[in-house]
Structure 1
Amino acid sequence: MTPSFKGKVAVVTGASRGIGLGIARELVERGAKVCVTARGEEALAEVVRELGGPDHAIAVAGKSDDPAHQEETVSRTLEAFGRFDLLVNNTGINPSYGPVLDTDPAVAAKIMAVNVLAPLAWTRRAHAAWMGEHGGAVVNVASVAGIRSSAGIGMYGVSKAALIRLTMELAADLGPDIRVNAVAPAVVKTKFAEALYEGREEKVSRAYPLKRLGLPEDVAGAVAFLLSEDAAWITGQTLVVDGGVTLGGGL
């Protein structure tokens, strides 16, 4: 049977499109109520409509690494739904392409702030607001770029490697009542990843044993599993969701 999240409340960051939207949709379909975040108010309003309206979802617009946005999101989630059981740290940025040595220090700092320090801050707030007393589960969306070298997106890979390690440390700190895991997708067909496959999808897909790129629902299913009671004895782990591409050394 598909695990149910009836009676559970989740916050999913970076959920106006792509993987984040896919995760939010999956959780709502399984019975959860969801707060979605992203920067664009109009896009979020459309997401709330798609997810069934305010009985099922609310949205808070803002920047993921902004403490005021984090505080508002947690407050409005508790106000709307009365609890906060599940957290998905999905927001990620990659504003730099090229060798790590050529990355502007300010850009590198921003990547680390959004991709690593923001998930830490969100988890801290979830713990303080609800999970520390009532328990819960956290999933961080990392990347296969965090487990191997990735030409051109090296600084992004560094941040995702740090997020994977952060997942382990938080799992050790927050057990037994809060589980913390991660997923590491390969290339998923989203706007965020378009530069990695646009105009050459068939060629890129050949490196994958499953002969296709990922879809948001591929990652959403894995995230839902890790959040569910089916994963009750799993914490500190990173589940690679990659169509098999890392078996052959490709990305």
Structure 2
Amino acid sequence: MSKRFEGRTAIVTGASRGIGLGIAERLVADGARVVITARKQDALDEAVAHLGGPDVALAVAGRADDGDHQADVIRQTIETFGSIDFLVNNTGINPVYGPLVELDLAVARKIVEVNCIAAVSWVQQVHRAWMKEHGGAIVNVSSLSSVRTAPGIGFYGASKAMLNSLTELMAVELGPDIRINGVAPAVVKTKFATKLYEGREDEIAAAYPLKRLGEPEDIGSVVAFLLSDEAAWLTGQTVLIDGGVSLTGAGE
């Protein structure tokens, strides 16, 4: 890997495992220091060891939609590594599966709070603390379900469609010194997505032109590109990372 991010620091939310950890791995491989968040300290500590230890990674446990937690993460990031050059809003929840007519509306409100409002709050806090003066780059992790109907996870998809819209709006407001883009993965082999493929991976993958489901590193490489200077003229875009499945008409 290159060292294109040497001397730069990224906050990656929801990064104790899965896509978030895959993103953090790629950023560290490219020379960045990372601050990772999630709810459980033990899992975060394991992730820090996996990433290479405290010289390159710091873990701060808490809820992604807790404003005090966000402020604490930002404070510790600047104190430990001296900057916040990148933010990756990866945290997302989908605690329900089923039709919208049976959706618990209290759960729906929580999905919007975590998947959308928290992402805006992270941007606001990072902007005030560092990026307004120094610039930076941000990536929001969305989902293919944000642009295609996905029965069973429909409200999750709707929340991610809102996130796509927020990405576009913030790109207009934050330029030219801060770029913000998104990625929208199809099914990636993580614990979070287990219900979408468990016991039928070959069947699901057959609908993908590339004949496999995604891996966390597939997302990490694209996020790293979007954060890099190589994407210097790219903002407000949400990139589908889907193995070509959106071209086939098959379900997610």
Shorter-chain TM-score tier? over 0.9
Structural mapping, 1:223-242, within 5 Å: 223-242=223-242
1:169 equivalent in structure 2: 169
Q: Is 1:82 paired with 2:82?
A: yes
Q: Is the 8 A contact 1:3 1:228 kept in 2?
A: no
Spell out the pairing of 1:1-251 with structure 2 (5 A cutoff). Answer: 2=2, 4-250=4-250, 251=252
Does the aligned pair in 1 maintain the 2:38–2:61 contact within 8 Å? yes
CA offset at residue 123 of structure 1? 0.5
- The SS at the match of 1:235 is coil
- The count of aligned residue pairs is 251
d(CA) in 2 for partners of 1:44 and 1:2?
25
Amino acid at match of 1:237: Q
- Residue identity matched to 1:230: E
- Cα distance, 1:99 vs structure 2: 1.3
Tell me the CA shift for residue 50 of structure 1.
1.1
Identity rate of aligned residues, in percent? 60
Task: Note the alpha carbon deviations across 1:101-149, whole angstroms, 9 max, x for none.
Answer: 2211110000000000011000111100100000000000000000011
Task: Give how far 1:52 is off.
Answer: 1.2
Q: TM-score normalised to the size of structure 2?
A: 0.98
Query: Cα RMSD over matched residues?
Result: 0.9
CA distance in 2, matches of 1:3, 1:249: 39
Conserved? CA contact 1:3–1:230, under 8 Å: no
Shift of 1:3: 6.5
- Corresponding letter in the other structure for 1:199: G
Deviation readout 1:169-207 (Å, 9 max, x if unpaired)? 000000000000000000000000010000000000011
> Does the aligned pair in 1 maintain the 2:3–2:29 contact within 8 Å?
no
Matched residue type, 2:225: F
Distance, in Å, in 2 between the alignment partners of 1:63 and 1:114 is 9
* Structure 1 CA distance for aligned equivalents of residues 189 and 7 of structure 2: 31
Looking at structure 1, the residues matched to 202 and 43 of structure 2 have their Cα atoms a distance apart, in angstroms, of 30
Query: Which runs of 5 or more residues in structure 2 are unaligned?
Result: none
Partner secondary structure for residue 43 of structure 1: helix
Letter in 2 for 1:242: D
Structure 1 runs of 4+ off > 3 angstroms? none
Task: Find the aligned partners of 2:182 and 2:3 in 1 and give their Cα distance.
Answer: 18
In structure 1, list runs of 5 or more residues that go unmatched. none
